[in-house]
Amino acid sequence: MSFAHRHIVVTGGTGALGTAVVGALIGLDAICHVPYRSEEEAQRFPYNENRNVTLVALGDLANEAAVEKFYGGISELWASIHIAGGFAFAPIEKSDKALLMGQIESNFVSAYLCSRAAVAAMRKTGRGGRIVNIAARPALEPRTGASMTAYTASKAGLAGLTQALSEEVAKDGILVNAIAPSIMDTPANRHAMPKADHAAWPKVEEVAATIVFLASPDNAVTRGAIVPVYGKS
């Protein structure tokens, strides 16, 4: 695969999975645009001085005006990868409206607005493009989402968005897909679940490889897919 001279947005690019995705993309000569929330995360990002990476301060991806301004400043956009999101483990009695709306805004609204802005930017080029969303295993297997119903609902909505938008923009040469990871092997997840079988969890580099393929020109036919990336878990 080659992404030479192709501009890619990676939201959530400073996190564990995002860092793996950006690393893989710049290894293939992509030009990455990475929005971030805080200066602390920008400073610890390992690729913050890479010539193929542009970090952009963008506090809230659920802010429509901010998202449109960000995408409007990128010429020749090829792909938009939406990793940014949030997680809440809470039973229904502790999941009030504020928690629910927070999950919907961080997981669904952010990806919706970024997808909308990306489609507008890609249509200007007339060369098509790729959009990759990050769903989750409970989006495909809702019964596994017990005690995290707000999170599950937001990710299920994102899966539905992916499939509907895929059908809408296929005529423009824009292929829209999502991946659905299980628990990934990250330092934070190991800390939260020290007794789990970490060897069974998919590595972020492995999940990143699937994302990169779906975002690549080599993916010429796959659209509307919610791809499970469970590893051995």
Could you read off the pLDDT of 34-59 as tens digits, one per residue?
999 999 999 999 999 999 999 999 98
Number of domain units in the chain: 1
Answer yes or no: is 108 within a domain.
yes
Whether residue 68 is contained in a domain is answered as yes
Q: Decide if 219 is inside a domain.
A: yes
Residue 2 lies in a domain: no
Residue 26's nearest CA partner among 15, 42, 13 is: 13
Q: What is the pLDDT of residues 135-180, one digit of tens each?
A: 999 999 999 999 999 999 999 999 999 999 999 999 999 999 999 9
Provide the residue range defining the domain that includes 129: 7-229
Residues with Cβ within 8 Å of 124's Cβ and at least 6 positions away in sequence, in order, are none
**Which helix (H) or strand (E) covers residue 32, if one does?**
strand 31-36
Q: How confident is the model at residue 30 (pLDDT cuts 50, 70, 90)?
A: very high
Q: What is the CATH number of the domain that holds 144?
A: 3.40.50.720
Local structure of 224: helix, strand or coil: coil
Eight-class DSSP state of 221: S
CA angle 69, 225, 23 (to 5 degrees): 55
Backbone angles phi, psi at 60, to 5 degrees: -140, 110
Please tell me the distance from the alpha carbon of residue 214 to that of residue 188, in angstroms, as a whole number. Answer: 26
- Write down the pTM of the prediction: 0.96
Q: Is 55 helix (H, G, I), strand (E, B) or coil?
A: strand
Please state, in angstroms and rounded to a whole number, the distance separating the CA atoms of residues 168 and 171: 7
Residues found in the chain: 233
Residue type, 192: A
